[in-house]
Structure 1
Amino acid sequence: MKLGALGLPPYRTFSLEEVEEATNNFDTYAFMGEGSQGQMYRGRLKDGSLVAIRCLKMKRSHSTQNFMHHIELISKLRHRHLVSALGHCFECYLDDSSVSRIFLVFEYVPNGTLRSWISGGHAWQKLQWTHRIAAAIGVAKGIQFLHTGIVPGVYSNNLKITDVLLDQNLVAKISSYNLPLLAENKGMLVHGTSSGASKDLSTSARINQDQKVDVYDFGLILLEIIVGRSLTSKNEVRVLKDQLQASITSDDTARSSTVDPVVRRSCSDQSLKTMMEICVSCLLKNPADRPSVEDILWNLHFSQ
Protein backbone atom coordinates (compact mmCIF):
# COMPACT_ATOMS: atom_id res chain seq x y z
CA MET A 1 0.00 0.00 0.00
CA LYS A 2 2.84 2.38 0.88
CA LEU A 3 4.56 1.66 -2.42
CA GLY A 4 1.37 2.34 -4.31
CA ALA A 5 0.78 5.59 -2.44
CA LEU A 6 4.23 6.80 -3.44
CA GLY A 7 3.63 5.91 -7.08
CA LEU A 8 7.02 4.18 -7.29
CA PRO A 9 7.77 0.78 -8.84
CA PRO A 10 8.91 -1.97 -6.45
CA TYR A 11 12.57 -1.89 -5.41
CA ARG A 12 14.63 -4.22 -7.61
CA THR A 13 18.08 -5.27 -8.79
CA PHE A 14 19.31 -3.62 -11.99
CA SER A 15 21.78 -5.24 -14.38
CA LEU A 16 24.98 -3.41 -15.31
CA GLU A 17 23.73 -3.34 -18.93
CA GLU A 18 20.58 -1.48 -17.81
CA VAL A 19 22.61 1.10 -15.89
CA GLU A 20 25.00 1.61 -18.82
CA GLU A 21 22.14 1.94 -21.28
CA ALA A 22 20.29 4.41 -19.05
CA THR A 23 23.34 6.71 -18.88
CA ASN A 24 24.52 6.13 -22.48
CA ASN A 25 27.55 4.34 -21.05
CA PHE A 26 28.12 7.11 -18.46
CA ASP A 27 28.28 9.84 -21.07
CA THR A 28 29.61 13.21 -19.89
CA TYR A 29 26.19 14.72 -20.70
CA ALA A 30 24.67 12.39 -18.09
CA PHE A 31 27.15 13.42 -15.38
CA MET A 32 25.50 15.57 -12.70
CA GLY A 33 28.38 16.04 -10.27
CA GLU A 34 30.58 14.40 -7.67
CA GLY A 35 30.67 14.72 -3.91
CA SER A 36 31.53 12.82 -0.76
CA GLN A 37 28.76 10.35 -1.59
CA GLY A 38 30.01 9.34 -5.03
CA GLN A 39 29.41 10.39 -8.62
CA MET A 40 25.88 11.21 -9.76
CA TYR A 41 24.47 10.54 -13.23
CA ARG A 42 21.12 11.31 -14.81
CA GLY A 43 19.62 8.35 -16.64
CA ARG A 44 16.54 7.25 -18.54
CA LEU A 45 15.18 3.71 -18.16
CA LYS A 46 13.62 1.70 -20.97
CA ASP A 47 10.13 2.65 -19.80
CA GLY A 48 11.07 6.33 -20.28
CA SER A 49 11.28 7.26 -16.60
CA LEU A 50 14.14 9.51 -15.49
CA VAL A 51 16.39 8.35 -12.66
CA ALA A 52 19.42 9.60 -10.72
CA ILE A 53 22.20 7.02 -10.41
CA ARG A 54 24.85 7.25 -7.68
CA CYS A 55 28.12 5.43 -8.41
CA LEU A 56 30.12 4.26 -5.38
CA LYS A 57 33.65 2.93 -5.85
CA MET A 58 34.32 0.38 -3.13
CA LYS A 59 37.49 0.85 -1.10
CA ARG A 60 37.39 -2.60 0.46
CA SER A 61 37.13 -6.02 -1.13
CA HIS A 62 33.83 -7.67 -0.20
CA SER A 63 31.42 -10.08 -1.82
CA THR A 64 27.91 -9.00 -2.75
CA GLN A 65 26.64 -10.89 0.31
CA ASN A 66 28.57 -8.55 2.63
CA PHE A 67 26.54 -5.61 1.33
CA MET A 68 23.08 -7.15 1.46
CA HIS A 69 22.19 -5.82 4.94
CA HIS A 70 22.97 -2.34 3.61
CA ILE A 71 20.88 -2.95 0.51
CA GLU A 72 17.98 -4.11 2.68
CA LEU A 73 18.10 -0.80 4.59
CA ILE A 74 18.33 1.25 1.37
CA SER A 75 15.33 -0.60 -0.08
CA LYS A 76 13.25 0.61 2.90
CA LEU A 77 14.17 4.27 2.36
CA ARG A 78 10.90 5.11 0.66
CA HIS A 79 8.95 8.11 1.81
CA ARG A 80 7.11 10.99 0.21
CA HIS A 81 9.70 13.44 1.52
CA LEU A 82 12.84 11.46 0.65
CA VAL A 83 14.38 11.00 -2.78
CA SER A 84 13.57 7.29 -2.69
CA ALA A 85 15.70 4.37 -3.83
CA LEU A 86 14.40 2.33 -6.79
CA GLY A 87 17.10 -0.33 -6.88
CA HIS A 88 20.79 -1.18 -7.03
CA CYS A 89 23.40 -2.84 -9.22
CA PHE A 90 26.68 -4.53 -8.25
CA GLU A 91 29.70 -4.44 -10.57
CA CYS A 92 32.25 -7.11 -9.65
CA TYR A 93 35.89 -7.84 -10.44
CA LEU A 94 36.27 -10.78 -12.81
CA ASP A 95 39.17 -12.40 -10.94
CA ASP A 96 37.68 -12.76 -7.45
CA SER A 97 34.04 -11.64 -7.82
CA SER A 98 34.43 -8.99 -5.13
CA VAL A 99 32.42 -5.79 -5.57
CA SER A 100 34.24 -2.98 -7.39
CA ARG A 101 31.33 -0.52 -7.71
CA ILE A 102 27.77 -0.23 -6.44
CA PHE A 103 25.21 1.77 -8.40
CA LEU A 104 22.23 3.07 -6.42
CA VAL A 105 19.24 4.04 -8.57
CA PHE A 106 17.00 6.81 -7.19
CA GLU A 107 13.91 8.61 -8.44
CA TYR A 108 14.71 11.78 -10.38
CA VAL A 109 13.38 15.02 -8.89
CA PRO A 110 13.07 17.66 -11.63
CA ASN A 111 12.48 21.05 -10.02
CA GLY A 112 15.83 21.97 -8.53
CA THR A 113 16.81 22.73 -4.95
CA LEU A 114 14.80 24.51 -2.28
CA ARG A 115 17.55 27.15 -2.17
CA SER A 116 17.09 27.93 -5.87
CA TRP A 117 13.41 28.71 -5.15
CA ILE A 118 14.21 30.94 -2.16
CA SER A 119 17.53 32.68 -2.74
CA GLY A 120 18.82 31.41 -6.08
CA GLY A 121 18.03 31.08 -9.75
CA HIS A 122 14.23 31.17 -9.40
CA ALA A 123 14.25 34.71 -7.99
CA TRP A 124 11.59 35.69 -10.53
CA GLN A 125 9.29 33.06 -9.03
CA LYS A 126 10.18 32.88 -5.35
CA LEU A 127 8.18 30.52 -3.15
CA GLN A 128 5.31 32.13 -1.30
CA TRP A 129 4.96 31.67 2.46
CA THR A 130 2.45 28.81 2.31
CA HIS A 131 4.80 26.84 0.02
CA ARG A 132 7.73 27.57 2.33
CA ILE A 133 5.86 26.23 5.35
CA ALA A 134 4.82 23.16 3.33
CA ALA A 135 8.46 22.58 2.35
CA ALA A 136 9.58 22.93 5.99
CA ILE A 137 6.93 20.43 7.11
CA GLY A 138 8.04 18.06 4.34
CA VAL A 139 11.69 18.22 5.41
CA ALA A 140 10.73 17.64 9.06
CA LYS A 141 8.62 14.62 8.09
CA GLY A 142 11.54 13.27 6.05
CA ILE A 143 13.86 13.64 9.06
CA GLN A 144 11.29 11.97 11.31
CA PHE A 145 11.11 8.99 8.94
CA LEU A 146 14.92 8.68 8.84
CA HIS A 147 14.99 8.67 12.66
CA THR A 148 12.01 6.45 13.44
CA GLY A 149 10.58 4.91 10.25
CA ILE A 150 13.31 2.32 9.75
CA VAL A 151 15.55 0.21 12.00
CA PRO A 152 18.29 1.13 12.62
CA GLY A 153 17.45 4.83 12.34
CA VAL A 154 19.59 7.13 10.19
CA TYR A 155 21.00 10.12 12.08
CA SER A 156 23.60 12.90 11.71
CA ASN A 157 22.55 13.44 8.11
CA ASN A 158 24.47 16.71 7.56
CA LEU A 159 21.33 18.26 6.08
CA LYS A 160 21.68 21.30 3.85
CA ILE A 161 19.07 23.36 2.01
CA THR A 162 20.82 22.42 -1.25
CA ASP A 163 20.02 18.76 -0.43
CA VAL A 164 16.28 19.51 -0.41
CA LEU A 165 14.79 19.09 -3.89
CA LEU A 166 11.33 20.04 -5.10
CA ASP A 167 9.30 17.79 -7.40
CA GLN A 168 6.84 18.87 -10.09
CA ASN A 169 4.24 19.60 -7.39
CA LEU A 170 6.76 21.53 -5.25
CA VAL A 171 6.83 18.69 -2.70
CA ALA A 172 10.12 18.81 -0.73
CA LYS A 173 12.35 15.72 -0.80
CA ILE A 174 15.63 15.17 1.08
CA SER A 175 18.16 13.94 -1.49
CA SER A 176 21.21 13.23 0.67
CA TYR A 177 21.22 11.30 3.92
CA ASN A 178 23.70 9.35 6.01
CA LEU A 179 23.57 5.92 4.41
CA PRO A 180 25.56 3.48 6.59
CA LEU A 181 26.92 1.92 3.38
CA LEU A 182 28.68 5.19 2.53
CA ALA A 183 30.01 5.65 6.06
CA GLU A 184 31.35 2.10 6.22
CA ASN A 185 33.05 2.44 2.84
CA LYS A 186 34.86 5.54 4.14
CA GLY A 187 35.86 3.73 7.34
CA MET A 188 33.62 5.87 9.54
CA LEU A 189 31.32 4.92 12.39
CA VAL A 190 27.93 3.74 11.19
CA HIS A 191 24.29 3.43 12.23
CA GLY A 192 23.87 7.10 12.93
CA THR A 193 26.76 7.36 15.37
CA SER A 194 28.33 10.78 15.15
CA SER A 195 32.12 10.68 14.82
CA GLY A 196 32.26 13.42 17.46
CA ALA A 197 30.12 11.60 20.00
CA SER A 198 31.65 10.60 23.30
CA LYS A 199 32.42 6.91 23.70
CA ASP A 200 31.09 7.18 27.26
CA LEU A 201 27.56 7.92 26.10
CA SER A 202 24.95 5.19 26.23
CA THR A 203 23.37 4.15 22.94
CA SER A 204 20.14 6.01 23.70
CA ALA A 205 22.01 9.16 24.75
CA ARG A 206 24.14 9.04 21.60
CA ILE A 207 21.07 8.59 19.38
CA ASN A 208 19.39 11.54 21.11
CA GLN A 209 22.51 13.65 20.52
CA ASP A 210 22.60 12.65 16.85
CA GLN A 211 18.90 13.48 16.47
CA LYS A 212 19.58 16.98 17.81
CA VAL A 213 22.38 17.44 15.24
CA ASP A 214 19.74 17.02 12.53
CA VAL A 215 17.46 19.44 14.41
CA TYR A 216 20.19 22.11 14.32
CA ASP A 217 20.66 21.59 10.57
CA PHE A 218 16.89 21.87 10.14
CA GLY A 219 17.08 25.20 12.00
CA LEU A 220 19.59 26.45 9.42
CA ILE A 221 17.19 25.49 6.62
CA LEU A 222 14.35 27.33 8.41
CA LEU A 223 16.55 30.39 8.85
CA GLU A 224 17.21 30.60 5.11
CA ILE A 225 13.50 30.04 4.39
CA ILE A 226 12.68 33.04 6.62
CA VAL A 227 15.39 35.52 5.60
CA GLY A 228 15.41 34.54 1.92
CA ARG A 229 19.14 34.56 1.29
CA SER A 230 22.09 32.17 1.42
CA LEU A 231 23.91 31.86 4.74
CA THR A 232 27.66 32.22 4.27
CA SER A 233 29.22 31.87 7.74
CA LYS A 234 28.63 30.75 11.33
CA ASN A 235 28.92 34.36 12.42
CA GLU A 236 26.11 35.39 10.05
CA VAL A 237 23.94 32.58 11.43
CA ARG A 238 24.62 33.76 15.00
CA VAL A 239 23.78 37.39 14.15
CA LEU A 240 20.55 36.46 12.33
CA LYS A 241 19.49 34.10 15.13
CA ASP A 242 19.96 36.92 17.67
CA GLN A 243 17.97 39.29 15.43
CA LEU A 244 15.12 36.78 15.20
CA GLN A 245 15.21 36.21 18.96
CA ALA A 246 14.97 39.95 19.63
CA SER A 247 12.24 40.51 17.06
CA ILE A 248 9.99 37.77 18.49
CA THR A 249 9.28 39.91 21.55
CA SER A 250 9.15 43.17 19.57
CA ASP A 251 6.35 44.52 17.42
CA ASP A 252 5.49 43.15 13.98
CA THR A 253 7.48 45.95 12.27
CA ALA A 254 10.71 44.66 13.84
CA ARG A 255 9.86 41.12 12.76
CA SER A 256 9.20 42.20 9.21
CA SER A 257 12.53 44.02 8.89
CA THR A 258 14.52 40.78 9.23
CA VAL A 259 12.66 38.63 6.72
CA ASP A 260 12.51 38.13 2.98
CA PRO A 261 10.27 40.81 1.36
CA VAL A 262 8.33 38.01 -0.38
CA VAL A 263 7.54 36.59 3.07
CA ARG A 264 6.43 39.98 4.41
CA ARG A 265 3.89 40.29 1.62
CA SER A 266 2.45 36.79 1.93
CA CYS A 267 2.16 35.80 5.60
CA SER A 268 0.40 36.77 8.79
CA ASP A 269 2.40 38.13 11.71
CA GLN A 270 1.41 35.23 13.99
CA SER A 271 2.50 32.66 11.39
CA LEU A 272 5.86 34.39 10.97
CA LYS A 273 6.35 34.66 14.74
CA THR A 274 5.69 30.93 15.20
CA MET A 275 8.22 30.03 12.50
CA MET A 276 10.81 32.34 14.07
CA GLU A 277 10.29 30.70 17.48
CA ILE A 278 10.78 27.22 15.97
CA CYS A 279 13.90 28.37 14.12
CA VAL A 280 15.53 29.94 17.17
CA SER A 281 14.80 26.89 19.35
CA CYS A 282 16.40 24.56 16.74
CA LEU A 283 19.57 26.69 16.72
CA LEU A 284 20.11 26.68 20.50
CA LYS A 285 23.73 25.97 21.41
CA ASN A 286 23.01 23.15 23.86
CA PRO A 287 21.62 20.14 21.94
CA ALA A 288 19.54 19.09 24.96
CA ASP A 289 17.62 22.40 24.78
CA ARG A 290 16.60 21.89 21.15
CA PRO A 291 13.11 20.51 20.41
CA SER A 292 12.38 17.02 19.17
CA VAL A 293 11.32 16.52 15.56
CA GLU A 294 7.83 15.66 16.83
CA ASP A 295 7.62 19.01 18.67
CA ILE A 296 8.84 20.80 15.55
CA LEU A 297 6.13 19.19 13.42
CA TRP A 298 3.43 19.98 16.00
CA ASN A 299 4.41 23.66 16.03
CA LEU A 300 4.93 23.91 12.26
CA HIS A 301 1.29 22.92 11.75
CA PHE A 302 0.30 25.88 13.94
CA SER A 303 2.28 28.24 11.70
CA GLN A 304 0.14 27.45 8.63
Structure 2
Amino acid sequence: MQIKKRRRPAFVVVLALITVAALVTGIALVGNSFRFSQEPVTIPGPDGDLAGILTLPDEGAARGLVVMVHGDGPVEATQGGLYAPWFEGAADAGFATLSWSKPGIGGSDGDWLSQSMDDRAAEVSAVLDWAQRSDDVPTDTIVLWGASQAGWVLPKITSAREDIDGVVAVGTAIGWLGQGRFNLLAQLEHDDADAQERESAIAESDQTRGLLKRRASYEEYLASTTSSDPMTADRWGFVLRNFDADATEDLIASASRAIPVHLMAGTHDRNVDVAETENTYRSIFGPSLTVTHVDGAHSLARPVMEDNDAIGLLTGIIWPQALLAPGAIDDYSAFLSGVRR
Protein backbone atom coordinates (compact mmCIF):
# COMPACT_ATOMS: atom_id res chain seq x y z
CA MET A 1 0.00 0.00 0.00
CA GLN A 2 1.36 3.43 -0.98
CA ILE A 3 1.44 5.95 1.83
CA LYS A 4 0.81 9.53 0.79
CA LYS A 5 2.95 12.25 2.35
CA ARG A 6 0.97 14.62 4.48
CA ARG A 7 1.24 18.24 3.54
CA ARG A 8 2.04 20.70 6.28
CA PRO A 9 -0.95 22.90 6.88
CA ALA A 10 -0.53 26.35 5.40
CA PHE A 11 -1.32 27.95 8.72
CA VAL A 12 1.88 26.47 10.21
CA VAL A 13 3.97 28.28 7.62
CA VAL A 14 2.02 31.49 8.15
CA LEU A 15 2.41 31.17 11.91
CA ALA A 16 6.15 30.71 11.55
CA LEU A 17 6.42 33.82 9.37
CA ILE A 18 4.36 35.85 11.82
CA THR A 19 6.54 34.65 14.70
CA VAL A 20 9.74 35.61 12.90
CA ALA A 21 8.31 39.01 11.94
CA ALA A 22 7.21 39.66 15.51
CA LEU A 23 10.63 38.65 16.82
CA VAL A 24 12.46 40.94 14.38
CA THR A 25 10.08 43.80 15.17
CA GLY A 26 10.59 43.32 18.89
CA ILE A 27 14.36 43.32 18.52
CA ALA A 28 14.21 46.44 16.35
CA LEU A 29 12.06 48.24 18.91
CA VAL A 30 14.53 47.44 21.68
CA GLY A 31 17.54 48.22 19.48
CA ASN A 32 16.09 51.59 18.52
CA SER A 33 15.11 52.63 22.03
CA PHE A 34 17.28 55.51 23.23
CA ARG A 35 17.48 57.66 26.35
CA PHE A 36 16.79 61.04 24.79
CA SER A 37 14.08 63.21 23.30
CA GLN A 38 14.32 65.32 20.16
CA GLU A 39 12.76 68.43 18.73
CA PRO A 40 13.19 70.01 15.29
CA VAL A 41 14.73 73.47 15.11
CA THR A 42 15.23 75.98 12.31
CA ILE A 43 18.56 77.78 12.43
CA PRO A 44 19.41 80.87 10.38
CA GLY A 45 22.60 80.16 8.46
CA PRO A 46 24.81 82.23 6.16
CA ASP A 47 22.92 81.07 3.05
CA GLY A 48 19.41 80.52 4.40
CA ASP A 49 17.72 78.38 7.00
CA LEU A 50 19.24 75.14 8.27
CA ALA A 51 16.98 72.26 9.33
CA GLY A 52 18.25 70.99 12.66
CA ILE A 53 17.54 68.60 15.51
CA LEU A 54 18.04 69.41 19.19
CA THR A 55 18.50 66.26 21.25
CA LEU A 56 17.93 66.48 25.01
CA PRO A 57 18.50 64.06 27.89
CA ASP A 58 15.40 62.18 29.01
CA GLU A 59 16.14 62.90 32.66
CA GLY A 60 17.20 66.22 34.14
CA ALA A 61 18.20 69.48 32.53
CA ALA A 62 21.17 69.47 30.17
CA ARG A 63 24.24 71.23 31.54
CA GLY A 64 25.87 71.79 28.18
CA LEU A 65 25.69 71.42 24.42
CA VAL A 66 27.50 69.29 21.86
CA VAL A 67 27.55 70.87 18.40
CA MET A 68 28.08 68.29 15.66
CA VAL A 69 30.21 69.08 12.61
CA HIS A 70 29.73 66.51 9.86
CA GLY A 71 32.30 64.86 7.68
CA ASP A 72 32.16 64.74 3.89
CA GLY A 73 29.04 64.00 1.88
CA PRO A 74 25.33 64.91 1.81
CA VAL A 75 24.69 64.42 5.53
CA GLU A 76 21.33 65.13 7.14
CA ALA A 77 20.92 66.04 10.78
CA THR A 78 20.76 62.51 12.21
CA GLN A 79 22.89 60.76 9.56
CA GLY A 80 19.86 58.62 8.80
CA GLY A 81 19.60 57.66 12.47
CA LEU A 82 23.23 56.55 12.72
CA TYR A 83 24.08 59.43 15.07
CA ALA A 84 21.66 58.08 17.68
CA PRO A 85 24.36 56.33 19.78
CA TRP A 86 26.34 59.59 19.88
CA PHE A 87 23.22 61.51 20.88
CA GLU A 88 22.59 59.03 23.68
CA GLY A 89 26.20 59.12 24.86
CA ALA A 90 26.01 62.89 25.17
CA ALA A 91 22.64 62.73 26.93
CA ASP A 92 24.02 60.24 29.46
CA ALA A 93 26.75 62.79 30.26
CA GLY A 94 24.17 65.54 30.72
CA PHE A 95 24.63 67.20 27.33
CA ALA A 96 22.16 68.23 24.68
CA THR A 97 23.26 67.80 21.07
CA LEU A 98 22.62 70.19 18.20
CA SER A 99 22.92 68.83 14.69
CA TRP A 100 21.64 70.09 11.36
CA SER A 101 21.38 68.97 7.77
CA LYS A 102 24.03 70.26 5.40
CA PRO A 103 22.96 73.01 2.98
CA GLY A 104 20.75 71.52 0.28
CA ILE A 105 20.06 68.37 2.32
CA GLY A 106 17.10 67.44 4.51
CA GLY A 107 15.27 70.73 4.12
CA SER A 108 18.26 73.05 4.60
CA ASP A 109 18.77 75.91 2.16
CA GLY A 110 21.91 76.25 0.07
CA ASP A 111 24.38 73.81 -1.48
CA TRP A 112 27.06 72.09 0.58
CA LEU A 113 29.14 71.40 -2.54
CA SER A 114 29.62 75.14 -3.03
CA GLN A 115 31.35 75.50 0.34
CA SER A 116 34.98 75.95 1.28
CA MET A 117 36.26 74.88 4.69
CA ASP A 118 36.10 78.55 5.71
CA ASP A 119 32.45 78.57 4.62
CA ARG A 120 31.79 75.50 6.73
CA ALA A 121 33.40 77.16 9.75
CA ALA A 122 31.31 80.30 9.20
CA GLU A 123 28.19 78.12 9.12
CA VAL A 124 29.07 76.46 12.43
CA SER A 125 29.79 79.86 13.95
CA ALA A 126 26.37 81.12 12.82
CA VAL A 127 24.77 78.10 14.48
CA LEU A 128 26.68 78.81 17.69
CA ASP A 129 25.52 82.44 17.64
CA TRP A 130 21.92 81.26 17.26
CA ALA A 131 22.34 78.78 20.12
CA GLN A 132 23.73 81.50 22.38
CA ARG A 133 20.68 83.67 21.65
CA SER A 134 18.19 80.85 22.25
CA ASP A 135 16.85 80.51 25.78
CA ASP A 136 15.90 76.85 25.21
CA VAL A 137 19.40 75.76 24.19
CA PRO A 138 21.81 74.97 27.07
CA THR A 139 25.09 76.75 26.29
CA ASP A 140 26.77 76.92 29.70
CA THR A 141 29.34 74.46 28.35
CA ILE A 142 29.91 73.91 24.62
CA VAL A 143 31.79 71.02 23.03
CA LEU A 144 32.42 70.63 19.32
CA TRP A 145 32.16 67.11 17.89
CA GLY A 146 33.58 66.65 14.42
CA ALA A 147 34.29 63.69 12.16
CA SER A 148 36.69 63.21 9.26
CA GLN A 149 36.52 66.32 7.02
CA ALA A 150 35.47 68.33 10.07
CA GLY A 151 39.13 68.19 11.08
CA TRP A 152 39.70 71.15 8.75
CA VAL A 153 36.77 73.02 10.28
CA LEU A 154 37.05 72.50 14.05
CA PRO A 155 40.31 74.42 14.66
CA LYS A 156 39.08 77.37 12.61
CA ILE A 157 36.18 77.72 15.04
CA THR A 158 38.08 77.15 18.27
CA SER A 159 40.78 79.64 17.29
CA ALA A 160 38.19 82.32 16.47
CA ARG A 161 35.76 81.94 19.39
CA GLU A 162 35.96 82.11 23.18
CA ASP A 163 32.88 80.01 23.95
CA ILE A 164 34.21 76.55 23.03
CA ASP A 165 35.08 74.43 26.07
CA GLY A 166 36.16 71.16 24.47
CA VAL A 167 36.60 69.31 21.19
CA VAL A 168 35.99 65.70 20.17
CA ALA A 169 37.74 64.81 16.90
CA VAL A 170 36.74 61.51 15.28
CA GLY A 171 39.02 60.21 12.53
CA THR A 172 40.25 63.65 11.48
CA ALA A 173 43.11 64.23 9.03
CA ILE A 174 45.85 66.84 8.66
CA GLY A 175 46.28 67.46 4.91
CA TRP A 176 43.66 66.89 2.20
CA LEU A 177 46.02 65.50 -0.44
CA GLY A 178 47.94 63.39 2.04
CA GLN A 179 44.71 61.93 3.34
CA GLY A 180 43.59 61.09 -0.18
CA ARG A 181 46.82 59.28 -1.00
CA PHE A 182 46.76 57.34 2.27
CA ASN A 183 43.18 56.27 1.57
CA LEU A 184 44.07 55.16 -1.96
CA LEU A 185 47.04 53.04 -0.87
CA ALA A 186 45.19 51.55 2.11
CA GLN A 187 42.24 50.59 -0.07
CA LEU A 188 44.49 49.03 -2.71
CA GLU A 189 46.14 46.94 -0.02
CA HIS A 190 42.78 45.94 1.45
CA ASP A 191 41.55 44.90 -2.00
CA ASP A 192 44.71 42.86 -2.67
CA ALA A 193 45.35 44.87 -5.82
CA ASP A 194 48.04 43.49 -8.11
CA ALA A 195 50.99 45.55 -9.33
CA GLN A 196 49.25 46.68 -12.51
CA GLU A 197 46.10 47.77 -10.68
CA ARG A 198 48.19 49.62 -8.14
CA GLU A 199 50.27 51.38 -10.79
CA SER A 200 47.17 52.40 -12.73
CA ALA A 201 45.37 53.76 -9.66
CA ILE A 202 48.37 55.80 -8.52
CA ALA A 203 48.87 57.20 -12.03
CA GLU A 204 45.22 58.27 -12.15
CA SER A 205 45.57 59.90 -8.74
CA ASP A 206 48.76 61.71 -9.76
CA GLN A 207 47.08 63.01 -12.90
CA THR A 208 44.12 64.33 -10.91
CA ARG A 209 46.46 66.00 -8.43
CA GLY A 210 48.24 67.74 -11.29
CA LEU A 211 44.95 69.01 -12.69
CA LEU A 212 43.91 70.32 -9.29
CA LYS A 213 47.19 72.12 -8.72
CA ARG A 214 46.84 74.04 -11.95
CA ARG A 215 43.14 74.67 -11.36
CA ALA A 216 42.00 72.81 -14.46
CA SER A 217 38.42 73.06 -15.67
CA TYR A 218 35.94 70.26 -15.16
CA GLU A 219 35.90 69.64 -18.90
CA GLU A 220 39.66 69.06 -18.87
CA TYR A 221 39.36 66.71 -15.92
CA LEU A 222 36.54 64.77 -17.56
CA ALA A 223 38.46 64.45 -20.83
CA SER A 224 41.55 63.08 -19.10
CA THR A 225 40.17 60.77 -16.41
CA THR A 226 39.99 57.03 -16.93
CA SER A 227 37.81 56.49 -13.87
CA SER A 228 34.65 54.47 -14.38
CA ASP A 229 32.98 56.72 -11.82
CA PRO A 230 34.25 60.26 -12.42
CA MET A 231 33.42 63.21 -10.21
CA THR A 232 30.41 65.32 -11.10
CA ALA A 233 30.97 68.95 -12.04
CA ASP A 234 29.77 70.09 -8.61
CA ARG A 235 32.05 67.62 -6.85
CA TRP A 236 35.02 68.71 -8.96
CA GLY A 237 34.31 72.30 -7.97
CA PHE A 238 34.15 71.31 -4.30
CA VAL A 239 37.45 69.44 -4.43
CA LEU A 240 39.08 72.23 -6.44
CA ARG A 241 38.01 74.67 -3.74
CA ASN A 242 39.40 72.60 -0.87
CA PHE A 243 42.17 70.24 -2.04
CA ASP A 244 44.93 72.38 -0.52
CA ALA A 245 43.37 72.29 2.95
CA ASP A 246 45.85 71.64 5.75
CA ALA A 247 44.87 71.86 9.40
CA THR A 248 48.31 72.54 10.88
CA GLU A 249 48.24 76.33 11.13
CA ASP A 250 44.67 76.41 12.42
CA LEU A 251 45.51 73.72 14.97
CA ILE A 252 48.45 75.78 16.24
CA ALA A 253 46.25 78.87 16.49
CA SER A 254 43.53 76.96 18.34
CA ALA A 255 46.01 75.50 20.84
CA SER A 256 46.47 78.91 22.44
CA ARG A 257 43.18 78.41 24.29
CA ALA A 258 44.33 75.20 26.01
CA ILE A 259 40.88 73.59 26.03
CA PRO A 260 40.62 69.78 26.27
CA VAL A 261 40.82 68.01 22.91
CA HIS A 262 39.88 64.35 22.62
CA LEU A 263 40.97 62.41 19.53
CA MET A 264 39.11 59.17 18.84
CA ALA A 265 40.82 56.94 16.27
CA GLY A 266 39.82 53.62 14.75
CA THR A 267 42.60 51.06 14.52
CA HIS A 268 41.15 49.85 11.19
CA ASP A 269 40.82 53.30 9.60
CA ARG A 270 41.61 53.08 5.88
CA ASN A 271 40.53 56.65 5.15
CA VAL A 272 42.86 58.63 7.39
CA ASP A 273 46.41 58.14 8.62
CA VAL A 274 45.42 58.34 12.27
CA ALA A 275 49.03 57.89 13.39
CA GLU A 276 49.98 61.09 11.57
CA THR A 277 46.99 62.88 13.08
CA GLU A 278 47.84 61.70 16.58
CA ASN A 279 51.51 62.70 16.27
CA THR A 280 50.59 66.14 14.94
CA TYR A 281 47.96 66.71 17.62
CA ARG A 282 50.35 65.61 20.38
CA SER A 283 53.06 67.98 19.17
CA ILE A 284 50.61 70.89 19.11
CA PHE A 285 48.20 70.30 22.00
CA GLY A 286 50.53 68.62 24.49
CA PRO A 287 48.79 67.85 27.81
CA SER A 288 45.48 69.27 26.56
CA LEU A 289 45.12 66.21 24.31
CA THR A 290 43.72 62.82 25.20
CA VAL A 291 43.59 59.98 22.67
CA THR A 292 41.51 56.83 22.51
CA HIS A 293 42.04 54.02 20.02
CA VAL A 294 39.06 51.78 19.41
CA ASP A 295 38.70 48.56 17.44
CA GLY A 296 36.82 50.32 14.68
CA ALA A 297 36.91 51.65 11.14
CA HIS A 298 37.04 55.28 10.02
CA SER A 299 33.62 56.13 11.47
CA LEU A 300 34.46 54.07 14.59
CA ALA A 301 31.95 51.49 13.40
CA ARG A 302 32.88 47.86 13.89
CA PRO A 303 34.99 46.95 10.82
CA VAL A 304 32.45 44.41 9.57
CA MET A 305 29.87 47.19 9.28
CA GLU A 306 31.96 49.03 6.69
CA ASP A 307 33.26 45.91 4.95
CA ASN A 308 29.83 44.33 4.49
CA ASP A 309 27.10 46.71 3.36
CA ALA A 310 24.31 44.21 4.05
CA ILE A 311 25.38 43.64 7.65
CA GLY A 312 25.86 47.37 8.19
CA LEU A 313 22.43 48.19 6.77
CA LEU A 314 20.66 45.46 8.72
CA THR A 315 22.37 46.44 11.97
CA GLY A 316 21.58 50.10 11.37
CA ILE A 317 17.90 49.26 11.01
CA ILE A 318 17.49 46.65 13.73
CA TRP A 319 20.15 47.44 16.36
CA PRO A 320 21.98 50.73 15.66
CA GLN A 321 23.46 50.65 19.16
CA ALA A 322 25.67 47.79 17.93
CA LEU A 323 27.10 49.70 14.97
CA LEU A 324 30.01 51.31 16.79
CA ALA A 325 33.10 49.63 18.15
CA PRO A 326 32.90 48.43 21.77
CA GLY A 327 33.65 51.16 24.26
CA ALA A 328 33.45 54.06 21.80
CA ILE A 329 30.35 55.70 23.25
CA ASP A 330 31.34 55.01 26.87
CA ASP A 331 34.64 56.75 26.17
CA TYR A 332 32.82 59.68 24.57
CA SER A 333 30.48 60.04 27.55
CA ALA A 334 33.40 59.89 29.97
CA PHE A 335 35.20 62.71 28.16
CA LEU A 336 32.10 64.91 28.13
CA SER A 337 31.53 64.27 31.83
CA GLY A 338 34.89 65.86 32.57
CA VAL A 339 34.43 69.01 30.48
CA ARG A 340 33.65 72.16 32.45
CA ARG A 341 33.78 75.85 31.65
**Normalized against structure 2, the TM-score is what?**
0.23
**Normalized against structure 1, the TM-score is what?**
0.25
**Higher Rg of the two aligned structures:** 2
Bigger RCO (CA 8 Å, 6+ sep) = 2
